[in-house]
Amino acid sequence: MLQRCLDLLAPALQERPGAVVVDCTLGLGGHSEALLARFPEARLVALDRDKEALRLSGERLAPYGERATLVHAVYDELPEVLDRLGIARVQGVLFDLGVSSMQLDEADRGFAYAQDAPLDMRMDQTTGMSAAEVLNTYPPGELVRILRAYGEEKQAKRIVSAIVREREKEPFSNSARLVELIRDSLPQAAKRTGGNPAKRTFQALRIEVNGELSVLERAIPAAVQALDVGGRIAVLSYHSLEDRLVKQVFAAGAATTAPPGLPVVPERYQPRLKLLTRGAELPTEEEVAENRRAAPARLRGAERIRESIE
């Protein structure tokens, strides 16, 4: 859905010398490269918590020189990053949430359940707990909460009972053992739907390890606040929990906050955002055929139409 993201951002960026666009999820730099190429007058600020991603994308974006500023940061640190760079407002923001292709394809990162690997799952491997540490040390009740809240796993209690039983024999270290345990612990009916039965557990562990939802809860409002009037934001989500958070922030910004019954709505109660998508836009059949990982993508966009009046 790259082209649609560029089209959504275009009115805020094209033919505007000095416009700043932020790629909050740099990854391997594909979206950033497309932004720099499409909007030759724009300056890019790109964030990623993964140092290897920064190194590789830095090589890719080197031809653009000083137009591209790459920063090692989590995307909820956007206000601090912009402050350090002396940037008061930006004209565009792009989020492409979830796991990057590089992280999925590198077996030793432990994100993919289809191949055996160390259970790491940290997007920044220099800090924080690994997925193995979560599995081996969290109390059973906390593991059940994580699987239910972040994986929407209906069989959470059954899976966690098996995890606790097995970790007492030997701590978890690799993904294949966890995948096998999940498969063995689920009833036959649960295995027949929804793809790989380990998918929801792996999603839940990844979200917990990286604090993804709590980071996103802070990041989307911060990005909206950083937008100049006329600036635009586009967000690609890959599961319902992410999309719900984005929807809530955008809907709140696009609603009036006036008490009911006012004959005229004062400026301070007027909406700050205009929604650019009707609901969440889905990838086309052609996009999914070209890239199966695009199948769950949901795109939402909004434009800043008014300053906040405190």
The enclosing domain of 133 has a CATH number of 1.10.150.170
Judgement on whether residues 69 and 218 belong to the same structural domain of the protein:
yes
241 assigned to some structural domain: yes
310 assigned to some structural domain: no
| Structure token digits, residue 233 | 């934001």
Last residue within a domain, chosen from 193, 210, 227: 210
- Distant-in-sequence, close-in-space partners of 221: CB < 8 Å, separation ≥ 6: 249
Give the phi and the psi of residue 186 in degrees, each rounded to 5. Answer: -90, 145
- Give first-to-last CA distance, the chain, whole Å: 36
Global pTM value: 0.86
Report in angstroms the alpha-carbon separations of 141 from 137, 161, 254: 12, 10, 38
Q: What is the pLDDT of residue 68?
A: 97
Last residue within a domain, chosen from 167, 185, 210: 210
Binding residues for S-adenosyl-L-methionine: 29-31, 48, 75, 96, 103
Judgement on whether residues 294 and 268 belong to the same structural domain of the protein:
yes
The total of structural domains in the chain comes to: 2
Judgement on whether residues 122 and 177 belong to the same structural domain of the protein:
yes
Judgement on whether residues 21 and 82 belong to the same structural domain of the protein:
yes
Give the phi and the psi of residue 233 in degrees, each rounded to 5. Answer: -130, 135
Q: What CA–CA distance (Å, rounded) separates 122 from 203?
A: 12
The DSSP bridge partners found for residue 233 are: 93, 302
- Distant-in-sequence, close-in-space partners of 194: CB < 8 Å, separation ≥ 6: 200
Ranges of residues in the chain with a pLDDT under 70 are: 99-114, 189-194, 309-310
Q: What is the pLDDT of residue 112?
A: 66
Which residue spans within the chain are E strands per DSSP? 20-23, 43-48, 68-72, 90-96, 227-237, 273-275, 298-304
Q: What is the CATH number of the domain that holds 249?
A: 3.40.50.150
Domain of 255? 2-96+212-304
309 assigned to some structural domain: no
| Structure token digits, residue 108 | 């030793």
Judgement on whether residues 75 and 159 belong to the same structural domain of the protein:
no
Binding residues: 29-31, 48, 75, 96, 103
Q: What is the pLDDT of residue 40?
A: 94
Q: What is the pLDDT of residue 105?
A: 47
Judgement on whether residues 72 and 219 belong to the same structural domain of the protein:
yes
225 assigned to some structural domain: yes
